[in-house]
Amino acid sequence: MERTRKTAERWDQEDDLSRYREEFYLPEGQIYLDGNSLGLMSKRAEQTCLDVLNSWRKCGIDGWTSGRYPWFSLSEELGKKSAPLVGADPAEVIVTGSTTVNLHQLLATFYRPEGKRTKILADSLTFPSDIYAMQSHLRLHGLDPGKHLIQVASRDGQLLDEEDLIAAMTDEVAIIVLPSVLYRSGQVLDMKRLTEAARKRGIPIGFDLCHSVGAIPHHLHDWGVDFAFWCNYKYLNGGPGAVASLFVHDKHHGGRPGLAGWFSSDKRVQFDMDHRLVPAADAGAYQIGTPHILSLAPLIGSLEMFNDAGIDLIRKKSLKQTRFLMELVEQELGEWRFAMGNPIEDERRGGHISLAHREAVRICKSLKEKGVVPDFRPPDVIRLAPVALYTSYTEIWEAVRILKEIMETKDYRRHKARREVVS
């Protein structure tokens, strides 16, 4: 069936989530398809940021325990609001730190090399920061990352096969850290299956949810995932540098965090000033320092919106939008040999599509110049992420029209084949 602009306009009129679009500040004259790197600002996020600033202005230090959003318990309260998005119990999530700091905390806690179980199992396509953290912990234990970090290879350079990951779960592996969604291709890994395989072998397993949280549902508690960590500035629209989050299954609660700090404490005794730490009995124990209150504030409004909309409805629309985008690429761009790097099947596809083309870096520059904001990932990937809460179907249609025009006119040839510092 041919997809037309009228198709897009009709779907926009029928869209149950369209009312949220007006809650965002949409860049004038742009079609924003980079929400998998940085989500747009919502009016609710702006307002809760102003509310917290107002508490600081009016209350001073008393803002820790008074005002509309008391700061002392804000990380815990936002953890409760985040829990439905990842299928966790409220006490299993805490909003704290940054993505990589949280991974360091979780590795310090769960990576316990002993005997021949010394290796960390990861993959060859994961985000570099995660690998840097894993290499750091191997070196801290006096181990050579070249020998003790297993990175399961991709068969085609784009996707991972769960069979290969499971086959690598040997009795030499001490911990497993994998992405939920591959940041280049958008492939969703079967977290349930991988967790069951790890549990049978007695290996703790955790997931980087940066490219899935806010885009797909999770069931971390029921799956038995040991730990997870994620940023809140992509699909969750928490703003640049937003405080991140982590999950620790309640079967591990009551233990001591690998990296202890001021806010690891049970809040009832935190201000006793005792040099003997009494860790919080829940995920709060995995905090380290004082929360960054002003970077937490936008998440109050953003998470409220997600809980209003519901992650299942968001996922349903997201899949329909990425499917529409793929259909348009096939329909309109076939002669220019774009390769679809993401999975076609709904259950294996995250929130973005991945187009490979040898001129990707120059095409991205042309797109941006003409008002379409994509995302480039070396060596040749264009990522396009329609976001359910603020991207319209008509914008998707128009973005593909502009891309077709760029290819017909070879407009991209005006640009240098060199990526910008931030891409």
Does residue 208 carry a catalytic annotation? Answer: yes
**pLDDT of 196 strictly over 90:** yes
106-120: average pLDDT? 98
What pLDDT shows up at residue 421?
66
Assign 362 to helix, strand or coil. helix
Distance CA 325, CA 322 (A): 5
Among 309, 333, 348, the domain boundary falls at 309
How much of the chain exceeds pLDDT 70, in percent?
Answer: 99
Strands (E), 22-172: 31-32, 93-95, 119-123, 149-152
- Residue 286 within a domain: yes
Indicate whether 219 and 354 sit together in one domain. no
Annotated catalytic residue within 24, 233, 263, 390? 233
Cβ atoms of 292 and 232 within 8 Å: the answer is: no
Task: Note whether 17 and 113 are same-domain residues.
Answer: no
127: annotated active-site residue: yes
Pick the last residue of a domain from 284, 309, 334: 309
Does a structural domain hold residue 259?
yes
> Is 276 buried (19+), middle (13-18) or exposed (0-12) by CB count in 10 A?
exposed
CB atoms within 10 A of CB 57: 9
Could you list the residues known to form a binding site for pyridoxal 5'-phosphate, using ranges: 99-100, 127-130, 208, 211, 233, 262, 290
As a whole-number percent, the residues of the chain with pLDDT over 90 amount to 97
Catalytic residue among 34, 123, 208, 375: 208
Domain hosting residue 353, numbered range:
5-32+311-413
State the average pLDDT for the chain.
97
Best CA proximity match to 333, nearest among 357, 362, 364: 357
**Residues 277 and 138 grouped into a single domain:** yes
**3-class state of residue 300 by DSSP:** helix
199 and 177 assigned to the same domain: yes
**292-322 pLDDT per residue, tens:** 999 999 999 999 999 999 999 999 999 999 9
Task: Answer yes or no: 44 catalytic.
Answer: no
Which residue in 20, 111, 383, 411 is the catalytic one?
A: 383
Task: Please state whether beta strands 31-32 and 372-373 pair in parallel, antiparallel, or not at all (unpaired).
Answer: parallel
Residue 38 falls inside a structural domain: no
Please state the φ and ψ torsions of residue 239, each to the nearest 5 degrees.
95, 155
Catalytic residue, chosen from 81, 234, 315, 365, is: 234
Dump pLDDT digits (tens) for 252-261.
999 999 999 9
Q: How many whole angstroms from its chain centre is CA 376?
A: 17
* Residue 37 belongs to some domain of the structure: no
**What's the pLDDT tens digit per position in 340-374?**
999 999 999 999 999 999 999 999 999 999 999 99
Place of tokens 């096939």: 330
Residue keyed to tokens 């996922």 = 315
Contact 93, 79 (CB under 8 A): yes
The reply to whether 105 and 128 lie within a common domain is yes
247 lies in the same domain as 108: yes
pLDDT bucket at 1, cuts 50 / 70 / 90: confident
d(CA 349, CA 7): 23
Q: Tell me: do 123 and 235 sit in the same domain.
A: yes
Q: Is 42 part of a structural domain of the chain?
A: no
For the segment 119-139, the average pLDDT, to the nearest whole number, is: 98
Task: Say yes or no: 172 and 159 in one domain.
Answer: yes
CATH code at position 318: 3.90.1150.10
Q: Count of domains in the chain?
A: 2
Give the domain CATH number at 234: 3.40.640.10
pLDDT score of 182 more than 80? yes
Of these residues, 12, 15, 127, 320, which one is catalytic? 127
pLDDT score, position 292: 96
- Tell me whether residue 24 is in a domain: yes
| Residue located via tokens 């404490």 | 265
The answer to whether residues 204 and 325 belong to one domain is: no
Contact 189, 178 (CB under 8 A): yes
Same domain, residue pair 169 and 283: yes
Asked if the structure places residue 402 within a domain, the reply is yes
Binding residue positions: 99-100, 127-130, 208, 211, 233, 262, 290
One domain for residues 11 and 149: no
SS3 261: coil
End of a domain among 263, 283, 309? 309
- Same structural domain for residues 164 and 281? yes
- Tokens for 321, please give them: 């939008």
pLDDT at 134 over 70: yes
51 is catalytic: no
Q: How far is the C-alpha of 105 from the C-alpha of 228, rounded, in Å?
A: 11
Pair of tokens at residue 144: 């050579």
